[in-house]
């Protein structure tokens, strides 16, 4: 069944799909893989630069894609956020902005010099603190503050939740676009094949890395 909700705005839907597909089918997964597989990325701090750049691009593409959808809905007179795909998209739009802003305003790690000053924690605006190899953190870095630990947990949970919502909405968006245009293929097999491969490999590496870390203790 073909549901014509495009007309003059058909190009808007296509551009919306491309932008959101890149945001949640490429930028977001690469950002997470860069953090999980940081030991495999050569150069001190390169993983963090990749992680931050991919998250920023994901946010910008999400804003652009969301804006195109709103314009198209206004132009066609269709009710806003009336379906699951649209409601999830709105949630992603709001939370991803909060996530990126929260990452930029994160509580920084204490500096090494603060070890000698009991009860004090020094911070700076540099991203170098995020780039230290994780196996050095236990011995060379002072204790993380409660605020920092809470932020790390919240940041990771929000990131994984966003990724899950983004993967679902990418899938539902492909199905929706195929229904609207009458395409016989919705390419969801390509979507899940690519994402399952890259995220699956990252998960396997994460488990292997944790095993080696526990074995060395």
First to last CA, the chain: 60
Is residue 113 within a helix (H) or strand (E), and if so which, with residue range? none
- Which tens digits make up the pLDDT trace of 161-194? 999 999 999 999 999 888 888 887 889 999 999 9
- Which tens digits make up the pLDDT trace of 57-86? 999 999 999 999 999 888 877 777 888 999
Asked if residue 117 has pLDDT above 60, the reply is no
Nearest to 155 by CA among 93, 109, 105: 105
Q: How far, in Å, CA of 137 to CA of 122, rounded?
A: 16
3-state helix, strand, coil in the chain (%, to 5): 75, 0, 25
- Which tens digits make up the pLDDT trace of 9-21? 788 989 999 999 9
CB atoms within 10 A of CB 9: 20
Q: Which two structure tokens, joined as six digits, stand for 3?
A: 């549901």
Predicted local confidence at residue 217, as pLDDT: 63
């Amino acid at each position: 069944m073909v549901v014509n909700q495009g007309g003059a705005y058909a190009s808007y839907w296509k551009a919306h799909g491309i932008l959101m597909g890149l945001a949640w089918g490429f930028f977001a997964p690469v950002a997470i893989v860069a953090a999980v597989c940081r030991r495999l990325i050569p150069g001190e701090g390169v993983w963090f630069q990749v992680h931050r750049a991919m998250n920023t691009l994901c946010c910008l593409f999400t804003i652009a894609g969301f804006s195109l959808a709103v314009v198209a809905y206004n132009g066609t007179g269709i009710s806003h956020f009336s379906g699951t795909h649209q409601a999830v998209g709105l949630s992603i739009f709001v939370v991803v902005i909060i996530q990126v802003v929260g990452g930029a305003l994160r509580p920084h790690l204490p500096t090494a010099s603060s070890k000698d000053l009991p009860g004090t924690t020094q911070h700076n605006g540099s991203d170098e603190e995020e780039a230290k190899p994780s196996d050095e953190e236990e011995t060379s870095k002072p204790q993380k503050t409660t605020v920092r630990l809470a932020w790390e947990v919240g940041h990771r949970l929000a990131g994984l939740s966003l990724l899950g919502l983004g993967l679902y909405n990418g899938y539902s968006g492909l199905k929706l676009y195929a229904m609207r245009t009458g395409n016989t293929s919705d390419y969801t097999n390509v979507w899940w094949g690519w994402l399952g491969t890259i995220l699956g490999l990252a998960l396997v590496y994460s488990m292997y890395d944790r095993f080696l870390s526990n074995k060395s203790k």
